[in-house]
Chain A
Amino acid sequence: MSQRIVVDPITRIEGHLRVEADIQNGKITDAFSSGTMVRGIEKILRGRDPRDAWAFVGRVCGVCTTVHSLASVRAVEDALDIVIPPNAELVRNIMFGTQYIHDHVVHFYHLHALDWVDVVSALKADPKKASEIAQSISNWPKSSPGYFSDLQKRLGSFVESGQLGIFANGYWGHPAYKLPPEVNLIAVAHYLEALEWQKEIVKVHTIFGGKNPHPNYLVGGMACSIGLDDVSAINAERLAYVGQLLEDAKEFVNQVYIPDLLAIAPYYLDWGGIGGGLGNYLVYGDLGANGYRDPSAYKFPAGAILNKDLSKVHEVDMRADAEIQEFIDNSWYEYPADAKGLHPWKGETDIKYTGPKPPFEHLDTKQKYSYLKTPRWKGNAMEVGPLARVLVGYASGREDFKAVVDSTLQKLNVPAAALFSTLGRTAARGLESILVADWTLEFYNQLISNIRNGDTRMANMDKFDPAKWPAKAQGVGHTEAPRGALGHWIVIEDQKIANYQLVVPTTWNASPRDGEGKQSAYESALMNTPVAKDQEPLEILRTIHSFDPCLACAVHLYDEEGKQVSRVKVL
């Protein structure tokens, strides 16, 4: 007999995701992932000034507040053939790096850790033992027995008060939690320290973007002026402060995040064989050491891997009509009669909801069942995100990627095959954080050196005036958002946006199956996942959270009832 479990909404993500999974003999036999709120940014953009698009798309989401704005200005610059000054590239890269580290740390501690860390168990820890473990894995100063014992007392009062959702609403005591109490205590300590740390690092966005959230971008460069002695510009003091924040970020990644990851992983090595899914990976690439227009010098190289074959990295062309296409066989949209898959330049966003009227018990997964379209690369379902980036970097033979990956495999004493898993995905996020923290400092040093040499150019306004634009133009802008490959495609006609399509990372990962019945990444990764207690599907959360879902841009949503539901029905 099989049971269908509904987890709706999946908590600790941005946005609204519903997962339905069929379970037989304690394992998932089929899974359906559904974005249940409509998206429509494309419609808002039509007819607007392309130079304003970044401000609208930046509003899509509060988590990756900058990535959409970045992809947007790049799409417009691509369409109009605008080359931006090196400093603007560097500032964009620094903001990108900041976004990454912030996002990955917050994801690890605040959205994902509680899938592995049992908060209540931490109350049973011996603070002295916790201190010994902490000191054995890192030089981080906050590690005395007194520190852990004070923290334990605070934690006790949080749990007792029952007022704090994060400590109250967990599957505490679930048999799938395996960490000793002391490791749980260390992780909770760092959960709290990460809260304090994260609010500092985002100041980099305020400094370069003028404001945060939703910092300013500019078609043609960046809207910040550099003046070393100017009190109202980004001056020497502000720049030094950015440098300090980036150093602090690097230290937090290397002294807290990574040691914790390596301390937790050995207890969950079975998850190195669970949740792998597709085995196809897609990366658009980003962080150009020689500017965005030179992909050969990208820190994150572009490419695709098929069937876990790391011996071959395929080239990806975002402009080719037959490569990236979106399908709607299982999505609540309507295409022109003869259309099957549409390249984003020709994309359509005509919503046609045919699902059950909410509130409903179950989706009819034999019909259309999601507001997410189904993107495919050359017909293949692809996973995007940290694991894809780390694998493409590794398979491209890059020494920096090899160094962090090989040393981690060695420390955990697992084969490379363990990368293709839930654990691999979570580890990859940490490994790329190490790299990004280093690269961001490189970009920062380059920026300082340019400024010292007298180059303070931040924008190229030669083509800002629409009178200089062709009557028709189209462009594509991409970035590697923390959650994966992000592309914006724009068509400009008569100085206005004629079409605008976003294909966002979570759409690649969370989309419904395609017309041939091929699952996308979430659904595929959930197959065969063990579920010990159907009322507390912790294992589903582990794999879904390992992708770091962010549905806000995949779909715009609201939480109709707001209740966390996990319903079980015997089929």
Chain B
Amino acid sequence: MVFPECDTNYVLVLGVGNYLMGDEGAGVHVAQRLGERDLPLGVEVLDGGTGGFHLMGIFEQYEVIILVDATIDGEPAGAIRLLEPRFASDFPRSMSTHDIGLRDVVEALQITGRLPKIYLITVSAEELEPMTIKLSPAVQHSVGQIADKLHTLLWDWWRERNLASSAGETEDFLHTFA
């Protein structure tokens, strides 16, 4: 897919999670970090918090959604993974507190035929600590890494799409992330 005119919303970096539960809020922290930086036109950042169904209309407005969320998947704290979930059932099982959440939104978008391309970047947490808004050092480090990496990649991508005569496919997007 060719990168569209610059005034179109194209990519949304959507950080989700519960800010009140330590590492569970990693996605929100990434959104906050990235939101403070210059980004190409057509790229937006949203702190989705524990948005659930409220996010459905937002998903529909973009071609590509880069979700960032915490997960407990048995990996050491701070481990970063890039997934390309096609169905709600592809989402890692133990994602966060938002039960009526992303899976349902993704499923609903599938039913209505409006599912955008989704990339999911997960940050592994070992323990969700309630009663704190602080991140563990390992996750804190990964949050910075993800924000930096996304910043670089989004600009690279933008340049490539706008300068190269033969535009690539969106499927290639983020291929150098991991």
A interface residue numbers (CB < 8 A to B): 9, 12-16, 37-41, 43-44, 56, 59-63, 65, 106, 110-111, 158, 163-166, 192, 195-196, 198-200, 202-203, 205, 212-214, 552, 556-563
Identify the interface centre among B53, B57, B60: most chain A CB within 10 Å of its CB: B53
Report if A559-B55 is in contact (Cβ < 8 Å); known contacts: A59-B18, A195-B108, A199-B60: no
Whether A106 touches B53, Cβ cut-off 8 Å, given contacts A195-B112, A557-B97, is yes
The answer to whether B20 touches A13 (Cβ under 8 A) is no
Say yes or no for B98: interface residue by CB 8 A criterion.
yes
Residue numbers in A under 8 Å from B47 (CB-CB): 214
Q: Tell me whether B88 and A44 are in contact (CB under 8 A).
A: no
B residues near A199, Cβ cutoff 8 Å? 53, 56-57, 60
Smallest Cβ-Cβ distance to A14: which chain B residue: B100
A62 touches which one: B49, B95, B132 (CB < 8 A)?
B49
B13 beta carbon closer than 8 Å to chain A = no
Inside 8 A of B104's CB, which chain A residues have their CB? 110, 166
Interface hits, B90-108 → A, CB 8 Å: 93-101, 103-104, 107-108
Given contacts A59-B49, A213-B54, A214-B49, contact A165 B88 (CB under 8 A): yes
Q: Mark B1-35, 1 if CB is under 8 A from A, else 0.
A: 00000000000000000111100100000000000
CB of B105 to closest CB in A, whole Å: 9
**Chain A residue with minimal CB distance to B70?**
A558
B50 touches A558 (CB 8 A): no
Known: A44-B20, A59-B50, A202-B54. A158 touches B93 (CB 8 A): no
Type the 1/0 row for B103-147, where 1 means its CB is closer than 8 Å to any CB of A: 110011011100000000000000010111100000000000000
In the bound assembly, the distance between CA atoms of A164 and B116 in angstroms comes to 16
Q: Complex: how many Å from CA A14 to CA B50?
A: 10
Q: Is B87 an interface residue, CB under 8 A from the partner?
A: yes
Contact of A59 with B20 in the complex, beta carbons under 8 Å: yes
Query: Hey, which chain B residues are within 8 Å of A562, CB to CB?
Result: 93-95
Q: Are A165 and B99 touching (Cβ within 8 A)?
A: no
* Contact partner, B89, options A16, A165, A192, Cβ 8 Å: A165
Q: 16 pairs across A/B with beta carbons < 8 Å?
A: A14-B98, A15-B97, A38-B130, A62-B50, A65-B50, A110-B100, A110-B104, A164-B107, A164-B111, A202-B54, A202-B57, A214-B51, A558-B21, A558-B72, A559-B93, A559-B99
**Which of B21, B24, B53, B88 is the one whose CB lies under 8 Å from A164?**
B88
With contacts A202-B57, A213-B51, A561-B94 taken as known, whether A196 is within 8 angstroms of B112 at the C-beta atoms is yes
Docked pose: A368 CA to B107 CA in angstroms? 37
Q: Is the CB of B93 within 8 A of A561?
A: yes
Pairwise interchain contact A213-B49, C-beta atoms closer than 8 A: yes
Q: What's the dominant secondary structure at chain A's contact region?
A: loop
Cα distance A16–B97 in the bound complex, in angstroms: 8
**B interface residues with partner A (beta carbon < 8 Å):** 18-21, 24, 47-57, 60, 72, 87-89, 93-101, 103-104, 107-108, 110-112, 128, 130-133
What are the nearest 4 A-B pairs in CB distance? A62-B50, A40-B131, A199-B57, A213-B51
> In the complex, A106→B100 CA distance in Å?
11
| Complex Cα spacing A106 to B104, Å | 12
The residue in chain A whose Cβ has the minimal distance to the Cβ of B130 is A40
**B85–chain A nearest beta-carbon distance, Å:** 11
Q: Which B residue's beta carbon lies closest to that of A168? A: B89
B93 touches A563 (CB 8 A): yes
Q: Is the CB of A558 within 8 A of B107?
A: no
**Judging by beta carbons under 8 Å apart, are A163 and B56 in contact?**
no
User: What residues of A have a CB within 8 angstroms of the CB of B72 in the complex?
Assistant: 558, 560
With both chains docked as a complex, state the minimum distance between the C-beta of A331 and any C-beta of chain B, in angstroms: 15
List, in ascending order, chain B residues with CB within 8 A of A203's CB: 57
Among A61, A165, A195, A199, which residue has the most Cβ atoms of chain B within 10 A? Answer: A199
Q: Which residues of B contact A166 (CB under 8 A)?
A: 104, 107
Q: Which of A12, A16, A106, A164 has the most CB of B within 10 A?
A: A164
Contact A212 B130 (CB under 8 A): no
Choose among B97, B103, B110 the residue with the greatest number of A CB atoms under 10 Å from its CB. B97
B60 to A, closest residue via Cβ: A199
B20, A41: Cβ atoms closer than 8 Å: yes
The answer to whether A198 touches B53, judged by C-beta atoms less than 8 angstroms apart, is yes
Q: Which of A41, A59, A62, A163 contacts B54 (CB 8 A)?
A: A62
Q: Known contacts A164-B111, A214-B49: does B97 contact A552 (CB below 8 Å)?
A: yes
In the complex, are the beta carbons of B107 and A61 less than 8 A apart? no
Question: Please, how many angstroms separate the alpha-carbon atoms of A549 and B142 in the complex?
Answer: 35
- Chain B residues with Cβ below 8 Å from A198 are 53, 56
* Chain A, Cβ-Cβ closest to B90: A163
Closest Cβ–Cβ distance, residue A198 to chain B (whole Å): 6
* Set A16, A65, A558: member contacting B51, Cβ < 8 A: A65
Other-chain residue from A60, A195, A556, A563 in contact with B56 (beta carbon distance below 8 A) = A195
Chain B residues near A195: list those with CB within 8 A.
Answer: 56, 108, 111-112
Residues of B within 8 A of A557 (CB): 97
Among A9, A65, A111, A212, residue most surrounded by chain B Cβ atoms (within 10 Å): A212
Contact at B52–A558, with CB atoms within 8 Å? no
A354 to chain B, nearest CB (A): 17
| Bound-state Cα–Cα, A558 to B99, Å | 8
A9 cross-chain contacts in B, Cβ below 8 A: 99
Give the docked Cα–Cα distance between A37 and B110 (Å): 31
Q: Which residues of B contact A560 (CB under 8 A)?
A: 72, 94
Given the complex of chains A and B, what is the CA–CA distance between A559 and B130 in angstroms? 14
Q: Which residue on A lies nearest to B101, using beta carbons?
A: A62
CB distance from A199 to the nearest CB of B (A): 3
Instruction: Check if A558 sits within 8 Å of B131, measured CB to CB.
Output: no
**A165 adjacent to B107 (CB under 8 Å):** yes
A164 touches B50 (CB 8 A): no
* B132 CB → nearest A CB, Å: 7
Q: How far, in whole Å, are A433 and B101 apart by their CA atoms in the complex?
A: 23
